[in-house]
Amino acid sequence: MIAITGATGQLGQHVIEELLKTVPANQIVAIVRNPAKADALHRKGIVVRQADYTDQAAFTTALNGVNKLLLISSSEVGQRAVQHQNVIHAARTAGVKFIAYTSLLHADKSPLGLHVEHVATEKALAESGIPYALLRNGWYTENYLASAPPALEHGVFIGAAGDGKIASATRADYAAAAAKVIAEEGHAGKVYELAGDHAWTLSELAAELSKQSGKPVAYQNLSEDDFAAALKGVGLPAGLADMLADSDAGASKGGLFDDSHTLSKLIGRPTTPLAESVNAIL
């Protein structure tokens, strides 16, 4: 059986859609925090089990009979390292034979502050004795397109990435890679640096928004501190605002760029172009 953590999350749902193309539903275990949100998965015949990243015992029970585990990183930045270790310990106790983990692009040398917890998790996997693969995901295109509506409204897309190139891909692209690695054999010991085929800057994103919407949108580059302050000013929690500003600053240093085309080679198709993603949200 194959288990997916965070199965009702945005990435998890895409992964399950991909898995269902090749894996029987009753061989997929969706591990969720709130089973009430997993009714749609249950109706498809997927096994739904409840466990929280903070509860190692519950995870051990949820992993009973599971051979392979896709550990999708927790959304709780600052608590991830401990939470992921809980899952890894539970997997070892339950006898899981393989783990694939969604890490961060070039985690071992990334300038993004997010890399710290991913590196700690990678270390825990290495020490676990369980065969594993690292899916070092780059940025989701959706992360930036979430800011498109206010940018179109005000004519300005703000950020702190300067001219940094962002080789993003969609969640569906990364999910296709995760589903392939967790369903197939032969991926143990592999480190996949996953990113989109075509990199772009925030200025180019603003230009694409202008082109497709017919509304003028300009990119305004801010300092990391000013960008964080602007995000807090529109109501984002301080921790999230600081993380996004840090990530933009990291992008300006090349932290979100990769041109190896590992992702498209792995999934057997080109990654989703920025223009197509912009068109979809418009």
Return the SS3 of 69.
Answer: strand
Region 1-8 average pLDDT: 95
- CA pair distance 121, 127, nearest whole angstrom: 10
Q: Is the pLDDT of residue 209 over 90?
A: yes
CA 273 to chain centre: 17
pLDDT of residue 78: 85
Question: How far apart, in Å, do the first and last CA atoms of the chain sit?
Answer: 39
pLDDT of residue 75: 87
- Cβ 155 vs Cβ 165: under 8 Å: no
Neighbouring CB atoms inside 10 A of 57's CB total: 11
Written as one string, the DSSP assignment of 247-278 is HHHHHHTTTT---S-HHHHHHTSPPPPHHHHH
The answer to whether the pTM exceeds 0.75 is yes
pLDDT of residue 194: 98
Neighbouring CB atoms inside 10 A of 153's CB total: 10
- CA pair distance 192, 262, nearest whole angstrom: 7
Going by pLDDT thresholds of 50, 70 and 90, the confidence category of residue 119 is: very high
Q: Is the pLDDT of residue 36 over 90?
A: no
- CA pair distance 269, 207, nearest whole angstrom: 26
pLDDT of residue 77: 85
Write out pLDDT tens, residues 73-113.
998 888 899 999 999 999 999 999 999 999 999 999 999 99
- Cβ 98 vs Cβ 188: under 8 Å: yes
The set of residues, in sequence order, having a beta carbon less than 8 Å from that of 180 and lying 6+ positions away, is 18, 266, 267
